Chain A
């Protein structure tokens, strides 16, 4: 496929995030993914809610809609169902999607509307200057939790699965290459593709994802999952994942008689959620954090079913316009 020029996807507006904000990298990855897939700019609609990340549409050379806080899922649902030919990208934050917009988030996933939902998880409310969010770790000290939070965070992937999601991927802002690749996977997948971006907020939550980005340690601390490939990771590709009863465990290849053949093969297309859920829930230090496409299951999607149903009904009906409807059923003449 011929690549388009990245410049086509940029608007003329100055990008206004704090210097060093992870959002810049994600923006560039989105430009690249779109250009590499050569999606015509006029066929793209980028829809967001409110938050730092939600300023995104203004920086796109595509169609864009900056909505209201929490409602990006609903607005983008309307865009896609009304105009199913569009490639719809929903941009949302951890507050936008999981606090005020939690209801719409689970329902857009449940309906499996064909769009890419990019969730910027910086575990903080950036735009309102540093209050904790539904993904902030228990005990996080923030502007609105000076003594630490006393509530459990959501794990977004787990929510996606709970809402019967069919696609979930995780990437980290610092890895533009990975972001680009996964955004392309998300776009290719028919149905709702949820991508959690681990995003650094330099101002209010600096460094929370350093453990993944650390040059020396990152290959031990994360596993980049690929469909049909063994779940192997580590600097020396000597670690892998195996099942231990109903749980996952990390093993060392070559030790205790374990060979590459014993390592689990990733099956993103498996509809059963048990292993996907276990992968989503892996945390350091015991486990590497799972990156890449964790789940990508083919399933009918809402927008398409709507079109099909309309077509089916229209093939059978004798009512083709409003005049027909008005004169259908019980009608009488006054002479």
Chain B
């Protein structure tokens, strides 16, 4: 069987694995992306979980997917459209039909493409490719179920258990197609199924069989090779946005020498942060699964009062419930981090989908003049740094900080160069000094923060709370002028955070004809669009915001240099309106999308090009 194989070198490939919830597609995708990262390719991944937890098997609602983009260049997004789609059943093909590139390849398990499954996936005919207008794609029909059964015949396993390995047969095919090594996955099986050597063996056999099958069938005339990317030297690991957020919070507490306390209530897509922190008892994290979101934040406030770093994590509906308590943290001027993983709203909205529509809620969703710092993370791995930043600002400035991430960042993952804790600056809590007379609302000159006196410390006994307080002494006060003084001091304290954050920088051309403006989780897509447009000879620049309130000090100077500004965001224009309010003299164009989906680079380029061309 010495078939001659052409190997074509590619710069970047997008693969989507999809199948029924039970088909193990998340594991398959993770295995491929781990292998790819290990051999030095750059990778970005995004899981696509079924909307319904227990949708009937074989239906479109039950399709689970995992998309990954890997390449020899810097990869900033999981990719718009798939070069290769793996569809383990007709429903998976249907669910992903619009996301396959022109000229892309579709690999199906032909054993599942039968009448029964066409019906479950609600095909009108028995010609799924025609029905979906996919006939012109490169379709590879592999009898994956049958071949897996053949491979594992004689292992003494039930058919049900044998079929569990069909995802590994499929992975073998894909490994062959992209010339990736098998050993990482084989080692993984050995470790994972240490106590079940038979299962480990079965997975290995299926993987090898898939690999060999792909190398022999005529259907795959050639394979591809993606060279390693030139990435910075060092130690790497994979990390998702939610795990990075959880770890950033621990890192912040560690650098501040504080105990971390999290009070939270589970909510998609933020739950994983709570789960990760409950697992970190080794690092002394105190995790409190509260009875609701209000209790979550209130326990965190109590913990901060008692000298811990209190944090709470949630998504839009939960942030709404926390509003009153955020105000309590504002007036008591305690450190508090509120992580809001945005999802589609309003109300329950699109719980598993991504959106950037909680910006106004984060900025203003409270009673009274209630300023809180708002920052946003931009990639799955930098959730770590912005969670740390949120801790730094909260502690050093004695203020609640809202960190915005989103469903796309939360579930997305990428290889991450492991930082050293010593590289993160120490965080210095402004503790009150023992022995000095403690005045709860006496402010420090530079940041205007008050000092933190921790219960248990002799001589610093004091009372704070939700009622307005007299400046300096902290006694309850209804004096009209004092309320104004305190309101202004609270506002000024938060404004002064601008002196302790980096300036806004520009990617791309200083003399661009168009400045693209974004914030938060759209960074990867906007940057990729920018780079591709510049490659096409367009003069464009990108200003991407992490710090939203307060804004970087040079914001106006940066924005006012450009003739055309377009603000691209996954909502109906919240950041655009915020900038209009702050800098009304400038003119802002908008590109908005609100479909629960991230931008595609294609649509961004198309729209930015239109703006460039318009007079």
Say whether B514 faces chain A, with CB atoms less than 8 Å apart: no
Q: Which residues of chain A from 85 to 113 have a CB within 8 Å of any chain B CB? A: 85-86, 103-104, 107
Q: Mark A303-335, 1 if CB is under 8 A from B, else 0.
A: 000100110011001011111011101111111
Q: Given the complex, which residues of B lie within 8 Å of A330, measured CB to CB?
A: 34, 237-238
Cβ contact within 8 Å between B465 and A83: no
Say whether B67 faces chain A, with CB atoms less than 8 Å apart: no
Q: Given the complex, which residues of A lie within 8 Å of B280, measured CB to CB?
A: 325
Cβ contact within 8 Å between A64 and B460: no
Say whether A262 faces chain B, with CB atoms less than 8 Å apart: no
- Smallest CB-CB separation from A64: which chain B residue? B463
* Complex Cα spacing A48 to B459, Å: 22
Main secondary structure of the interface of A (DSSP, over half): mixed
Say whether A13 faces chain B, with CB atoms less than 8 Å apart: yes
Cβ contact within 8 Å between A334 and B40: yes
Q: Give 18 pairs: A residue, B residue, CB < 8 Å, sorted on A.
A: A41-B461, A45-B455, A60-B463, A65-B302, A67-B466, A68-B325, A73-B295, A75-B298, A82-B307, A82-B310, A86-B455, A86-B456, A103-B291, A103-B295, A326-B421, A329-B237, A333-B235, A334-B236
Number of interface residues of A (CB under 8 A): 60
* Complex Cα spacing A67 to B294, Å: 12
Say whether B37 faces chain A, with CB atoms less than 8 Å apart: yes
* Complex Cα spacing A330 to B302, Å: 37
Say whether A77 faces chain B, with CB atoms less than 8 Å apart: yes
Q: Given the complex, which residues of B lie within 8 Å of A331, measured CB to CB?
A: 235-237, 418
CB-CB nearest 8 A-B residue pairs: A66-B465, A78-B302, A78-B299, A74-B298, A64-B463, A82-B303, A83-B306, A317-B282
Cβ contact within 8 Å between B303 and A79: yes
Q: Mark B243-255, 1 if CB is under 8 A from A, else 0.
A: 0000100110010
Cβ contact within 8 Å between B290 and A313: no
Given contacts A74-B290, A82-B286, A82-B308, contact A61 B461 (CB under 8 A): yes
Cβ contact within 8 Å between A68 and B328: yes
Say whether A28 faces chain B, with CB atoms less than 8 Å apart: no
Say whether A50 faces chain B, with CB atoms less than 8 Å apart: yes
Cβ contact within 8 Å between B282 and A319: yes
- Of the residues B460, B465, B475, contact of A57 by C-beta under 8 Å: B465
* Complex Cα spacing A50 to B462, Å: 18
Say whether B38 faces chain A, with CB atoms less than 8 Å apart: yes
Q: Given the complex, which residues of A lie within 8 Å of B294, measured CB to CB?
A: 71, 74, 104
Beyond A82-B308, A322-B421, A334-B235, 19 additional pairs, beta carbon < 8 A: A42-B460, A50-B466, A60-B463, A65-B463, A71-B295, A74-B295, A76-B302, A77-B299, A78-B263, A78-B298, A78-B305, A82-B310, A104-B291, A107-B291, A322-B250, A326-B418, A331-B418, A332-B38, A332-B235
- Smallest CB-CB separation from B307: which chain A residue? A83
- Of the residues B237, B261, B284, B459, contact of A81 by C-beta under 8 Å: B261
Cβ contact within 8 Å between A42 and B288: no
Say whether A183 faces chain B, with CB atoms less than 8 Å apart: no
Cβ contact within 8 Å between B302 and A79: yes
Q: Given the complex, which residues of A lie within 8 Å of B291, measured CB to CB?
A: 103-104, 107
Say whether A11 faces chain B, with CB atoms less than 8 Å apart: yes
Given contacts A76-B302, A334-B40, contact A65 B465 (CB under 8 A): yes
- Of the residues A66, A103, A322, contact of B247 by C-beta under 8 Å: A322
Given contacts A71-B325, A104-B295, contact A58 B284 (CB under 8 A): no
Q: Which residues of chain B from 19 to 70 have a CB within 8 Å of any chain A CB? A: 34, 37-38, 40
Cβ contact within 8 Å between B283 and A319: yes
Cβ contact within 8 Å between A40 and B458: yes
Cβ contact within 8 Å between B465 and A45: no
Q: Given the complex, which residues of A lie within 8 Å of B457, measured CB to CB?
A: 42
Q: Given the complex, which residues of A lie within 8 Å of B463, measured CB to CB?
A: 11, 57-58, 60, 63-66
Q: Given the complex, which residues of A lie within 8 Å of B132, measured CB to CB?
A: none
Say whether A225 faces chain B, with CB atoms less than 8 Å apart: no
Q: How far is the CB of A328 from chain B (nearest CB, A)?
A: 9
Cβ contact within 8 Å between B475 and A13: yes
Say whether A43 faces chain B, with CB atoms less than 8 Å apart: yes
* Complex Cα spacing A322 to B391, Å: 15
Cβ contact within 8 Å between A334 and B232: yes
Say whether B155 faces chain A, with CB atoms less than 8 Å apart: no
Cβ contact within 8 Å between A82 and B259: yes
Given contacts A310-B284, A314-B281, A334-B40, contact A42 B455 (CB under 8 A): yes
Q: Given the complex, which residues of A lie within 8 Å of B304, measured CB to CB?
A: 78, 82
Most buried by B among A74, A77, A104: A74
Q: Given the complex, which residues of B lie within 8 Å of A61, measured CB to CB?
A: 461
* Complex Cα spacing A85 to B306, Å: 10
Say whether B300 faces chain A, with CB atoms less than 8 Å apart: yes
* Complex Cα spacing A50 to B234, Å: 54
Say whether A62 faces chain B, with CB atoms less than 8 Å apart: yes
Q: How far is the CB of A242 from chain B (nearest CB, A)?
A: 40
Cβ contact within 8 Å between A321 and B254: yes
Q: Mark A34-45, 1 if CB is under 8 A from B, else 0.
A: 000000111111
Q: Given the complex, which residues of A lie within 8 Å of B419, measured CB to CB?
A: 326
Q: Given the complex, which residues of A lie within 8 Å of B40, measured CB to CB?
A: 334
Say whether B586 faces chain A, with CB atoms less than 8 Å apart: no
Cβ contact within 8 Å between B299 and A62: no
- Smallest CB-CB separation from A65: which chain B residue? B305
* Complex Cα spacing A222 to B572, Å: 65
Say whether A47 faces chain B, with CB atoms less than 8 Å apart: yes
Q: How far is the CB of A235 from chain B (nearest CB, A)?
A: 44
Most buried by A among B325, B459, B463: B463
Q: Given the complex, which residues of B lie within 8 Å of A333, measured CB to CB?
A: 234-236
- Of the residues A57, A75, A326, contact of B302 by C-beta under 8 Å: A75
* Complex Cα spacing A80 to B421, Å: 30
* Complex Cα spacing A35 to B280, Å: 40
- Of the residues A11, A71, A79, A314, contact of B305 by C-beta under 8 Å: A79
Q: Given the complex, which residues of A lie within 8 Å of B454, measured CB to CB?
A: 83
Q: How far is the CB of A38 from chain B (nearest CB, A)?
A: 14
Cβ contact within 8 Å between B232 and A13: no
Given contacts A61-B461, A68-B325, contact A322 B238 (CB under 8 A): no
Q: How far is the CB of B362 from chain A (nearest CB, A)?
A: 19
- Of the residues A63, A77, A313, contact of B461 by C-beta under 8 Å: A63
Q: Mark A287-298, 1 if CB is under 8 A from B, else 0.
A: 000000000000
Q: How far is the CB of A153 from chain B (nearest CB, A)?
A: 23
- Of the residues B233, B251, B299, contact of A322 by C-beta under 8 Å: B251
Cβ contact within 8 Å between A75 and B237: no
Cβ contact within 8 Å between B456 and A42: yes
Say whether B324 faces chain A, with CB atoms less than 8 Å apart: yes
Q: Mark B457-487, 1 if CB is under 8 A from A, else 0.
A: 1111111111100000001100000000000
Say whether B95 faces chain A, with CB atoms less than 8 Å apart: no
Most buried by A among B38, B254, B307, B465: B465
Cβ contact within 8 Å between A43 and B456: yes
Q: Given the complex, which residues of A lie within 8 Å of B288, measured CB to CB?
A: 77-78, 81
Q: Given the complex, which residues of A lie within 8 Å of B332, measured CB to CB?
A: 65
Q: Given the complex, which residues of A lie within 8 Å of B459, measured CB to CB?
A: 42
- Of the residues A11, A40, A45, A310, contact of B306 by C-beta under 8 Å: A45
